[in-house]
A and B are shown apart, each in its own frame.
Chain A
Amino acid sequence: MTLNIQLNGTVVELTSPSEYRLSTVLKDQCRGIHLGCGQGKCGSCLILVDGLPRYSCQMPFFSAKNKKITTIEGILNSQEFQDILKGFKRANLDICDFCAPSRVLSIYYLLSKSYTPDQGEVEDVLSAVNCSCSSYDSLQRGIFFSIEEKNRRLHG
């Protein structure tokens, strides 16, 4: 099966068996996707599909048809990525290399919203990636600092 997918802003043609996991297909294109549990539990294959976070290991390849897919590689030049970078640095947050791309992508999703997210939404985002490399408190601090950086950039 061949599909045209809008991957990180560029239309690419991907060929794979239709039932194949999207995570495995995208892995060849985007090295930031890590293959973990394959059961939608660990969150290391998290991507944004039409702007919403999804576990790509739980999506068959055919379901990517006509979708706009964003991976960590697609947000590296965004302002929000810089906000997260600064926020994590301020929080002295040292998450592991394995979950980092998915964690950043999930926080990017939060930051790309037009309003300031509340505590519940922050906790939702934290739960999207099931890695225990850092404590919840330190992660939360990193997120709130990232939000502050974004607000400072937008509103001075």
Chain B
Amino acid sequence: MDDRRLKEKLSGRVRYPQDVSSKNLLHVMVLYSTEIRADLLGFELPELPQDVFFITSKDIPGKNWLDFGDGGMPLLAEKEISYKGQPLALIYGPRLDELEGFIDKIIVKTETLPPLSDLDIQESKAISYERRIQEGNSEGIFQKDENNVLEDFFETTEQWHFSFPAPYSSCQKEGPRYIIHSITQWPWMVQKNVCSTLKLRKDQVQIKTYPCENSQDSKLFIPIQTSCIVALACFLSKKTTTLTPYPTDGLFLSRGRGSIQYYLKAATNTQGDLLALKIDFSFDSGAWPIWEKEWIDKICFASTASYHCRNVEIHGKSQPTNNPPTGQFPDSALSSVFSMIELLMNSLALQCKGDILQWKKKNILRKGNGFFTGALLTKEPGLDKLIDEVVERSDFKRKHSSYQYQSGRDSHHSLGIGSRGIGLSTAYLPSGFLTNNSDLYGAAVSLKLNQEGQLSISLPFQPGHKQLYKYWALTASEMLNIDQKQIQFLINNQPLLAGPGTLGRNITVINQLILNGLQWINKRRFRDPLPLEVTRRYRKKTAKWNDSGFTGNPFQFLSWGAMTVELMTDEETGYIDIKQIHIALDTGPLMIPSLASSVVERGLRQAHNWLTGSFQIPRVNFPGFKDRIPFNVFWQRSQSQPRSLDGLVQILYPAAFLQALSQATGQSQHNIPPLSQERSNL
């Protein structure tokens, strides 16, 4: 990084939407629902000065609907409130302190309705998406007496993460155009929604993007909402508007990951081969299902985790509730399903009275055996090597034997001493989407080399980290032998270049598209006249995936990983001390090595927050942010192209952590976060 840029960064001169100022700046505040479910009857307002305005869904000139490609939600509630925290109305004016006073005095007239109950859900009144898959004959295998069969219930609760910078927005009116200042990775989707909300043409709305920093996927949903809010206020007032940060608005949190309940059943033969798996799960998609098909299908695809099993029976359903709409994460729901399958497999291996390590190695995915969808692994995924790495580096073998010894001593936990545990997990992370919705799966990159030798690269999104621009500029400079200063990046606002290739996992896809485009230009640059222009698209119609039959291989790239977590619980204080985490990852060549380690650390921290954040046992003190989680990473680079990294650690950590906790406490874990009754012996 050059000195000027570093100085600008460190001295806080980089601007954000919050810094947009104007003489007539209006602050916008959102009135949120405090009810879970109710009929919205109206509002009782205090006397407002002339320069303070209150707007509801009736004031929206266009559609009161935010479209996220697959699913959506209203910008402001109309007749019914469907979750706590739903935006009901906006208030805007020049003085923030006045607004805060007024917003507290607004009375929302409602008629409370009972929230959607478990009974409603059980009666299938509210299933919004469902998938049933049957491969092989799992039922027949479960019924054979000689097989080991194990069944269990598991649950993962909703997940929230801190996400900085919070995606606040501002809007300026310049002549006939509206300039939206937004921290978004998905500018054309913001533009599309603002146009639809305000009934404007695309040329009337310009999106100015700001650094997104971490590739948290909350940058997909929330900026669309906040941008439409400020744009609406700007449209009605004709003045510059800014959405004012407010501690309770929760915008610094990512959209929650919905809770999932599982019923799992698995069978092995007497030799310990995994023969059949049954998985029945229900996913809480919140009040407004967004991308639920993607969630459900991805869980279905990953329902055998990193194990080989051809007899599967899967039933997954998505159910709307009165919780906030579910967001999207780099790993979607994979951290949940992988964790639960790993816990079941762990129990199954113990039931087989074999060595857990050998059992895992016997049943993991290998070259040639592939997934239950029929997709074969044509290359060796190398999970063996990854497992060996973490096992050798950790205390797994010794601990495992001592655990067996320890588990035979029933009286151990009554002695009041701390105990240790170690868990092992394996996982893979796919790039891309399963869905056929063109707004979601598509990603395209355009490159143009003009007569002056300048190269422009149009991306469909804003990368989470600026170092990626530097990486691609360096790559293009080396391939085409042009100066890096002659390379510029454009964020394309046209839906022609669909997203969200915006997500961290899809960086690898975009990277490949850029490389393909550069290679194309390199071949023709001395043969064809300039300018040369090329567009490269991901996921053509010929993709080998049958969505309706759920067969084939939907993913171009897979990255692989293994992890051990060693921890110790102190029975006196309830403190859980993470002793060491060993991670082995095969993500191909690292695009930006310095960034990779921070992605791993962030992944661990986010996953740890999930395991501990909503923890309800006051006497158990998990390590907080201040306590570093000690970890070592071994990078295996057997693959030739960069693979997804963001999200892989989040999948690996919960499974290994819960196994370790099970060992340490002597109680098998079935939930994330662990429930209090299961921890009562601590």
Residues of A within 8 A of B (CB): 16-17, 20, 24, 27, 31-39, 41-42, 44, 57, 72-73, 76, 81, 84-85, 88-89, 92, 94-101, 104, 123-124, 127, 130-138
Contacts and interface: CB of A to CB of B under 8 A. Distances in A.
Contact of A76 (B3, B11, B162): B11
20 contacts: A20-B97, A35-B245, A38-B246, A38-B252, A42-B252, A73-B12, A85-B6, A88-B10, A96-B214, A97-B14, A97-B211, A98-B14, A98-B213, A99-B164, A100-B9, A101-B11, A127-B626, A132-B162, A135-B597, A136-B601
Interface in B225-259: 245-247, 252
Contacts of A81: 10-11
B96 interface: yes
Contacts of A20: 97
B165 interface: yes
Interface of B: 1, 3, 6-7, 9-16, 18-19, 96-97, 162, 164-166, 211, 213-214, 245-247, 252, 466-467, 594-595, 597-598, 600-602, 605-606, 625-626, 628
Contacts of B628: 123, 136
Contacts, number: 122
Given A97-B213, A130-B162, A138 B12 contact: no
A14 B313 CA distance: 67
A34 to B, nearest CB: 7
B162 A85 contact: no
Given A17-B97, A42-B162, A98-B16, 12 more contacts: A31-B12, A33-B12, A35-B18, A35-B166, A44-B164, A88-B6, A94-B594, A96-B214, A98-B165, A100-B10, A132-B598, A133-B214
B574 to A, nearest CB: 22
A56 to B, nearest CB: 13
B15 A42 contact: no
A72 B159 CA distance: 34
Please name the 6 residue pairs, one residue from A and one from B, whose CB atoms are nearest each other, closest first. A32-B12, A38-B247, A101-B12, A97-B14, A132-B602, A96-B213
A37 B626 contact: no
B377 to A, nearest CB: 32
Contact of B13 (A31, A96, A136): A31
Contact of A89 (B6, B12, B15, B600): B6
* Most interface-central of B12, B96, B466 (chain A CB within 10 A): B12
Nearest to A42: B164
Between B166, B245, B625, B626, the greatest number of chain A beta carbons within 10 A of the residue's beta carbon is seen for: B245
B247 A39 contact: yes
B164 A98 contact: yes
A8 B634 CA distance: 46
A101 to B, nearest CB: 3
Nearest to A96: B213
Given A96-B214, A135-B597, A34 B10 contact: no
Given A37-B162, A130-B625, A16 B18 contact: no
Nearest to B95: A17
B9 A97 contact: yes
Contacts of B19: 31
Given A38-B245, A94-B1, A132 B214 contact: yes
A57 to B, nearest CB: 8
Contacts of A44: 164-165
Contacts of A130: 162, 625
A76 to B, nearest CB: 5
B410 to A, nearest CB: 41
A132 B605 contact: yes
A67 B466 CA distance: 38
Nearest to B470: A94
A92 B594 contact: yes
A37 B214 contact: no
Contacts of A39: 247
A2 to B, nearest CB: 14
